[in-house]
Amino acid sequence: IIDQIELDAIIGVNLDERQTKQSLHISISFQYDTETAVQSDNINHSVDYYSLTQKIKTFVQESQFYLIETLAEEIAHLVLTDKRIETVSLFLYKPNALTEAKRVGIKLLRNQSKKITKSVNTTEKLSWD
């Protein structure tokens, strides 16, 4: 589990959201076979939390998505590029999106066999692999 990574990024559809970075909170949990890591006690056989966090941080801070759904999907896909990771659960929140709510966000669950990919034509709907 990597809980509540706090980052700023361009996210949203309104003009002010396209010009000013907003605060985002990301929490992920993932499953992978830890047996080799446990037996060896070696980071090379484990998922490196620091490295994964840095990849997510760089990706999000350089992104400019309109929808948090799209950003969440892309982060999940990034996590799943490590083929050891079988499943990822992701929470992505915009804590300052609504004054009436503590936060708004999305929760999704993806695995190696069920990833969404974008079509070549960006006006088309998303499709399952």
Model pTM?
0.84
* 110 vs 30: CA distance, rounded Å: 10
Which tens digit of pLDDT belongs to each residue from 93-117? 999 888 899 999 999 999 998 655 5
Which tens digit of pLDDT belongs to each residue from 66-101? 999 999 999 999 999 999 999 999 999 999 888 899
